[in-house]
Chains A and B, each alone.
Chain A
Amino acid sequence: MDKSTQTSGSKDELHIFGRPWTYQVERLGPIAAVIIFGAVVGIIEPRFLSARNVINVLYQAATYIILAVGMTFVITGAGIDISIGSMLALTGILMVFTIEYTPIPPWLGIWVAPLSGMVLGLLNGLFITKLKVPDFIATIATMIGYRGVVLIMAGGVVHYRFPAAVRFLGAYRLFGLIPISILVAFAIGALGYYVYNNTYFGRYTAALGGNRESAILAGIEVDKYKILTYVFMGFLAGVAALVTIGRLDAFHATYGEFMEIDTIAAVIIGGTALFGGYGRVWGSVFGALLMSMVVNGAVLLGFPYFYQYVLVGIVILVAVSIYTFLGTRRTT
């Protein structure tokens, strides 16, 4: 029996701090990209690293960071949520109407955004698990449907000048300097990281995304956890609505359009597997930050506006190529 003692098959692969080097590159890649990109652009254009601009970049990234944390869970569970931009707008208008047209005090009314987001996410989850509509199709349908409701409710009118409770999360600054929204975004990143690694929700989401059949055989209620990823996403879409509306102190029915694309891009840049099984919460945070830096850097370096899209596209392609390369190494 002793002679049949086994050792690890992955022993021959180079390990750094107890993990394969490919894993470390995947994990640290997005952070390294943020640092390197920041340094390079900062050398060419020193204004890029000024305190004011750094805060500005973070400020603009906050919404995407919050959304990307939620999307990390959805994608880890082998799902995708195309409806987040519409959810952001719908939770926003529901909150705005609550505050403008009901006697509910604003400090209570703002909770309508995250709570209604959970309901919208629950609907997404139910369509996917109970009606068996593929994630992509179901959330494209709700993207259109939710947006329709927003347009019906808000029309073309801009709502603006909200009470302090609404502006607090998006516009207020700690010591008059650091926007609350940045702190909230990073707190949500930390919470997401903890949830991913330490809760049953996080573990079972990865399990159902990695091998749904195995998860079922292990007695995991896969539908329940799948739905929960969408509920969590909806909740964070509501928080992102608060941050966006508070920052601009205004609401318009087009808010959130195309945000799903940028958010999914941030998650993919961050190293989360597009087809499920494992997620990188901090990767998504830094992925969102990198996207924000690219856009801001392009402006400072004097690129015409439309070139930003080209640059972001290049960043996504480079990131995914690197992961594909590492992924190939990992399985052969």
Chain B
Amino acid sequence: MARITSGVACSHVPALGVASDKGITGDDYYGPIFKGFEFSKQWIAEEKPDVIFLVYNDHCTAFDARVIPTFALGCASEYQPADEGWGPRPVPVVKGHRDLSAHIAQSLVLDEFDITIMNEMEVDHGLTVPLTMMFGQPEEWPCPVVPLAVNVVQYPAPHGRRCYALGKAVRRAIESYGEDLKVCVFGTGGMSHQLQHQRAGLINADWDARFMDLLVNDPEFGSQIEHIEYLREAGSEGIELVMWYVMRGALNEQVNEVHRFYHVPASNTAVGHMILENA
């Protein structure tokens, strides 16, 4: 049977993708950030997941204003990196795992999570930047990815509590899949940041630290954080952090925090990153 062994939380700042693509990951600005992921690259090379279940948000790339699914599950055999206005990122095509996706889709709907099924989907920096941070620049990504896109662009994003419950349903889905697969779940986005209007540039490091502590030690409580708190304390785009709760819900109640990294800034954003293993 398939099993979930670990979770990765990771910001998906587009500038980090640009830094990698341009080969400037060692400069004074980006160097400290990529250094914070050196441990992670080694860790994931040893962990060797067979599949990554990756929770991210699309930034009006696959979904423009015409269609806005709250939860959309990728069920394709591959996902092309999209042109987001600057040309597609020069990264490998993301291979999917169609059988596992199809199984998860069925299981989630029967488990009362009425997700949208995506049989074709381009993927943007929300998905490819975390892969870059964890794997660097390989010729091919080392394993297939099952993407779950969450709407966090048009208010309201799903509640943290709902995301946490969805994570638990994802776990039930994966654990009922017949093949013996080792799955790592990524929750991406955040941390505190605001990209828009006159309060742009907001960072709240104390709040971010508390968020990470709660995620590890008291996710039941942390998942209750209301939208108004995210908006006010973590910035209008900081609400992306609800996606970390899908990842957390898919793990055991008790987890070991094996890595934590936090850095300000990457462009407009606080970069947060954690690796959690099931205890």
* Binding between chains A and B: no
Binding site for A on B (CB under 8 A): none
**Which positions in A face B, CB cutoff 8 Å?**
none
